[in-house]
């Protein structure tokens, strides 16, 4: 099915040979006859026009250089090369303001305050106004828990916290979210969709004393499967994503039986392909089935 098809798996300079997870996809694409290669997104030597498809994978520095990354997205589309996910989704997903759209449509979010860059608000005053005693602060453009930290009301007035908060809000828009203890137990679910279809899910828990579920911070995957009810809720969130799309990871926390959206990852999420033996082949099939002419800026 993929004989002769040229597929670039876009990555970053820190991971020129892809992640172990993405190499599972690469292997399956090659087994299907596609010429699947890793390509660093900002490498000027790469001729992107020579590929039939470009699949954005471990571009894990995009949030540090967003204007440059989005210019690269523009250039891929200008070459007429099919980009997955499509550029319009990558642009819309780069700023967490898409969560406000989800909330307006009735999807549950953990209580969130949205702060614009340069806002004069004091963190302690905001917590008092909302009645929150424990929050997570994160940039609106971020990945892998970059500059994301948890702070209590008691810590909010310290000189160190005030300085750190001032630096963050001077650099860009922020989200301040009431801390959800459910992120620790039962944990954060990641529902993975490939080719617009549900593939698999994992439940992530942070290391003791932490709140971040990412592997690099000691997070681990629990040996549990989601219920049919949770899968149905995740599917409703996935149905919100404008078609066509190739992959999505929906990160949620269950609170009183309802999934609360943390992120809808459409740019470069880890997809936990190693957690389901059939997932790499499922992803490869979706890449090979993707319809190039359906991609528009």
Tens of pLDDT, residues 175-194: 999 999 998 889 999 999 99
| 216 pLDDT higher than 70 | no
Query: In the chain, pLDDT over 70 holds for what percent of residues?
Result: 92
Q: Which of 62-66, 211-215, 266-270, 272-276 is predicted with the least confidence, judged by mean pLDDT?
A: 211-215
Q: How many CB atoms lie within 10 A of CB 127?
A: 22
Please state whether 4 falls in left (phi above 0), alpha (psi between -120 and 50) or beta: left
Q: Which domains does the chain have, with CATH numbers?
A: 6-87+284-294 (3.40.50), 98-107+182-266 (3.30.470.20), 112-179 (3.30.1490.20)
Q: Which of 88-102, 173-187, 264-278, 280-294 is predicted with the least confidence, judged by mean pLDDT?
A: 280-294
pLDDT value for 75 = 96
pLDDT value for 113 = 97
Alpha helices in the chain (DSSP H): 20-31, 66-78, 87-93, 98-104, 123-130, 159-171, 228-238, 279-289
Q: What are phi and psi of 260, to 5 degrees?
A: -105, 125
- pLDDT tens readout for residues 12-39: 999 999 999 999 999 999 999 999 999 9
Q: What are phi and psi of 6, to 5 degrees?
A: -95, 120
- Residue 215 — pLDDT band, cuts 50, 70, 90? low
Q: Which of 59-68, 114-123, 141-150 is predicted with the least confidence, judged by mean pLDDT?
A: 141-150
Sign of the alpha-carbon torsion through 259, 260, 265, 270:
negative
Please tell me whether the overall predicted TM-score, pTM, comes out greater than 0.85 for this model: yes
| 144 pLDDT higher than 90 | no
Nearest to 87 by CA among 54, 52, 47: 54
| Rg of the chain on CA atoms, in Å | 20
- Residue 1 — pLDDT band, cuts 50, 70, 90? low
Quote the tokens at residue 97: 């303001």
| 95 pLDDT higher than 90 | yes
| 293 pLDDT higher than 50 | no
pLDDT value for 223 = 75
């Amino acid at each position: 099915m993929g004989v002769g098809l040229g597929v670039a798996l876009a990555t970053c300079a820190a991971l020129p040979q892809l992640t172990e997870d993405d190499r599972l996809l690469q292997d399956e694409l090659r087994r299907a006859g596609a010429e699947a290669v890793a390509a660093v997104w900002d490498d000027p030597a790469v001729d992107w026009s020579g590929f039939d498809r470009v699949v954005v994978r471990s571009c894990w520095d995009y949030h540090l250089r967003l204007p440059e990354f989005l210019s690269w997205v523009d250039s891929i589309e200008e070459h007429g090369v099919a980009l997955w996910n499509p550029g319009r989704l990558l642009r819309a997903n780069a700023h967490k303001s898409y969560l406000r759209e989800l909330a307006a449509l009735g999807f549950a979010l953990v209580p969130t305050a949205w702060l614009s860059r340069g806002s004069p608000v004091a963190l302690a005053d905001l917590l008092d106004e909302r009645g929150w005693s424990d929050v997570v602060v994160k940039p609106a453009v971020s990945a892998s828990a970059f500059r994301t930290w948890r702070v209590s009301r008691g810590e909010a007035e310290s000189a160190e916290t005030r300085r750190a908060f001032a630096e963050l809000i001077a650099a860009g828009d922020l989200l301040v979210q009431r801390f959800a203890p459910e992120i620790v137990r039962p944990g954060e679910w990641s529902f993975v969709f490939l080719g617009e279809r549900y593939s698999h899910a994992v439940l992530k828990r942070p290391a003791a004393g932490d709140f971040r579920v990412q592997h690099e911070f000691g997070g681990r995957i629990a040996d549990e499967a989601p219920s049919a009810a949770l899968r149905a809720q995740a599917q409703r969130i996935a149905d919100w994503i404008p078609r066509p799309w190739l992959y999505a990871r929906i990160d949620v926390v269950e609170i009183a039986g309802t999934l609360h959206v943390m992120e809808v990852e459409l740019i470069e999420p880890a997809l936990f392909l190693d957690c389901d033996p059939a997932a790499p082949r499922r992803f490869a099939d979706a890449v090979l089935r993707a319809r190039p002419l359906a991609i528009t800026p």
